[in-house]
Structure formats: C-alpha cells, structure tokens
Amino acid sequence: MEDRNQLCENTIPQLLRWRVRHSADKIALREKDFGRWKNYTWAQYYEFVRKVAMGLREIGFKRGDRLAVISDNIPEMLIVAIGAQALGGISAGIYQSSLPDEIAAILDYMDVSMVFCDDQEQVDKLLEVRDRIPKVKKVFFEDPRGMRNYRSDDWFMFIEDLYPLGEQAIKEAPELFDQLVDEGRPDDVCHLCQTSGTTGLPKGAQMSHRNYINMGVQLTKVDPLAEGDEYVSFLPFAWIGEQMNSFGVALAAGITINFPESVETAMEDLAEIGPHFMFGAPRIYEALRSQIWLKIDDSYWINRRLYGYFMKVGEKAATYRMSGRKMPLGLRFLAWIGKSLVTLPLINQIGMLRLRRAYTGGAALGPDLFTFYQALGVNLKQIYGQTEITGIAYMHRDGDVRPDTVGIPLPETECRISE
C-alpha cells in the first residue's frame, strides 16, 4: 500500500493479515519472561489471533459480542482483543487497578460476555462479584499459577486450552477465518475505550478500526517510523495512549512492540530494549530523571563537575534546537563534547540512546523537565488530545518545541475554538 491513507480502508485484523503478506518473518512482538526475551514474528502473531478467534467462535462468541481485557501488558492482551475483532466482536480494556465493584459496574454497562485476565489477582476480583455479572459467560486466564482449584469450574478457561479448539476449527474449515475477517468494515466499532470517569462512572467510547489506523497514519506522517523500530508497551491497555500505539501505530508502521517482564521491571527492561520512540505520562519522565540524578550523585566528583558544566551548555544548545534556530559554532562544538563525554553514556544507561522521539501527554509537563531532557539530547515533545478522538489532536514538531504550548494539529485534523 504505497499511499498510507489506503491503510485506513482496512480493519485491524485485515491490516494485520497484510503485514503478514508484506513482512511475515519480521518481529512484531517481543516479550520478556523469566529473564529471557521471546520473539513473535508477524506470521506467528497472526496465527495466534486466528487460533483465538476460531476458538472463541467454537464456544459461542459472535459478531457484536464484547470481550473485556483486564491484564498487565503481555502479547495475549492484543492477541485476544484482535481475535475478538476478527469475528466482528468488540474488545474493551479495563484498568488492572480497578476494584471489584468498579469492574462489575463497567462489565454490566458494556454488556461484556467474556473476559480475559492475566492472573489470579484479576480472576479473584471477578469471582468476588460473580453474582453481579450474569452476562459474563466465560473468563480466560493466562497465568495458571494459583488457578488449580478453578480449573474444574466451566466459567474459567486457561488460554492454552482455547488454542486447540481454534486449531481444530481451522482444520475443519481452513478458509472460514479469512471469510470472517473479510466481512469486517473499517468503520465498524472494534473497541470500547474507557473515558477518565472524572464526573462519574467511566464511559465506553466507541472506537472504529479506521479511528485507530488513521491515528497511526497521521502520527507517522509527522514523525516517520521505520519497520522494526522498537516501542515499549508499559502503559495500561485501558488507556487510549496504549491502544493508539499498539493498534494504530504498530500496524500502520510495522514497528516491534516490546513487553517488559513486569510493571516493576519496566524501567530496567527499557534499558535492554533501547526503543526508537516512547510515550508516557509526565510521572514516567520524572522517574527517569530521578534515576539519572541518582547515578550522578553516586558518581566520582569529576563526573559530577563535568555533568554540571555540560548540562548548562546543553540547556543553551536546547533553546536553539527546540526553536529550530541555527546554533553558534562555538556552542555547537561545546555541546558535541558534552554529548560525547557526559550525556550519551548517561542516556545509554537508561535505554534512551536510540530514542529519536519521546512523547508525553495526559497532563501538563513543566518547562524545566522539557529543558532537562532536551539538554540531554532526548527529543521530548508534548501531545494533546482526548479519548474520544482516539488520542492525539495536537503535537510538537521537531524544531518547534515550546513548553508553554501543545504544538499544532496533526495532518487532516479539524479544530475550532468553541464559544
């Protein structure tokens, strides 16, 4: 598809299938488990989606049904969601931190019939409110630890037991899955995204396949990404920011999604991955800055002196880079020395050496934090948007990063100031 806008004429499962035809053996997903990284090619990703979809169909999931995901970031959260979408179903994300009463209310409100959980903690929440969610017919789990006593209850199903059902269905009707995928339309609702819930119970904003893919296309028009560029998935799947990247950007650009071993190890795993772009709330960047300060405090005094001096140089250089102005030759030379001696080793330790762009959104970011990262040579930029528009409306452009603004609209975005 030479014209990127043509990508928007597909559903998410259709675009995943196109990725397989285009680059079957390239890495789509990477997961760290028990200290080792495991790769999934686009072909393997698609095959898992196919098995899940056909398995879901065997146990009664059909077009228009809803499947909720309550999980930490693991490949199965995408595989199960897209498997449901492939059948014409609708996926939904629920925050892992939600309490049982909140989950019960959201599941009932969204008319969810099946739920995917990653572990016993989330399954137990559903068990606590089982009598209040009669529409839920099946609960899948990914991690079997602690689930032995639940295996005899038909309400629960180990995800590994779903795959053989799908495999058998594929053997009996090899062409059926593609036929079901072909029935999808770009403007079909594919996902219910939770709004913030600041004025009451979170709502389920209805997102279409076109919404997500178009967001990926327009974002990469401004900041191009190459196939195989690395992204770290650690944002909650229930948040539009993660869906925007794992559905839209990943499929539009063909990037690799990396899943850390756990929430607790995400920052350490970031250093191993060395992503090309990342997206996070301001607190993520505040935490990373604290890590850098700790490393400097623990360093030799000469390193602390060099850091102090060259950070001041970097801050001056950052004002030129952020505004797109030409830097004086002397300052450019000093900034190059500082980058070589101080900042490159620092950002390499925290996994930002290959980072071309970093985005922040969800809350305002202080000018001092912008200047800090730009002084280090990290191209941190602000975005602004909302759930109901699938993420981003405005973003900073390279060479026009003004901390007191949120940038300008994305391509093909219409904006107006209301009365």
Chain-centroid distance, C-alpha 371? 26
| Measured distance CA(201)–CA(322) in Å, rounded | 40
- Asked if pLDDT for residue 1 goes beyond 90, the answer is no
Q: Please write the tens of the pLDDT for every residue from 106-138.
A: 999 999 999 999 999 999 999 999 999 999 999
Q: Please write the tens of the pLDDT for every residue from 219-256.
A: 999 999 999 999 999 999 999 999 999 999 999 999 99
User: Please, what is the average pLDDT of the chain?
Assistant: 92
- Asked if pLDDT for residue 181 goes beyond 80, the answer is yes
Type of residue at 275: P
| Measured distance CA(391)–CA(387) in Å, rounded | 5
Output the CA torsion sign for 372, 374, 379, 380: positive
- Asked if pLDDT for residue 45 goes beyond 90, the answer is yes
Confidence of residue 201 (pLDDT cuts 50, 70, 90): confident
- Asked if pLDDT for residue 291 goes beyond 80, the answer is yes
Q: What share of the chain is helix, strand, coil (3-state, %, to 5)?
A: 50, 20, 35
Q: Please write the tens of the pLDDT for every residue from 374-387.
A: 999 999 999 998 89
Confidence of residue 34 (pLDDT cuts 50, 70, 90): confident
What was the pLDDT predicted at 298?
87
What was the pLDDT predicted at 189?
97
Q: Please write the tens of the pLDDT for every residue from 61-102.
A: 999 999 999 999 999 999 999 999 999 999 999 999 999 999
Q: Which residues contact 272 (CB under 8 A, 6 or more apart)?
A: 32, 37, 351
What residues form DSSP beta bridges with 259?
31
pLDDT above 70: percentage of residues in the chain? 99
What was the pLDDT predicted at 362?
77
- Asked if pLDDT for residue 2 goes beyond 60, the answer is no
Q: Rounded to the nearest 5°, which phi and psi values hold at 412? A: 60, 25
